[in-house]
Amino acid sequence: MVCNFKTKGVCATNIKFELDGNVVRGIEFTNGCDGNLKAISKILDGTTVEFIQEKCRGNLCRTKGTSCADQLAIAVQEAFDKANKK
């Protein structure tokens, strides 16, 4: 399923990705630090929700209390939970 997540507190304004079971593919950030977010998208393509949680959750950008990577972790977990009615 294709998912769109409106971010909060970061430069990227939206994250789009496909969720197939617990596998995340096709991650696309709108706005934000283009080079870094393209690299994150490539590195994490085809990984699981659990892997993204382990590696990205809690990484913070300056004093924002979150980051684009943290927002991705939140987004994929919310989508997974919704798909599995948790």
Burial of 78 (0-12, 13-18, 19+ CB in 10 A): middle
Q: Which two tokens stand for residue 65?
A: 């209390």
CB atoms closer than 10 angstroms to residue 57: 17
- Give me the torsion for CA of 61, 62, 65, 70, rounded to 10°: 10
Parse the chain into domains and list their residue ranges: 2-83
Q: What is the pLDDT of residues 54-67, one digit of tens each?
A: 999 999 998 899 99
Q: What is the pLDDT of residues 17-53, one digit of tens each?
A: 999 999 999 999 999 999 999 999 999 999 999 999 9
Q: What is the pTM of this model?
A: 0.95
d(CA 32, CA 12): 4
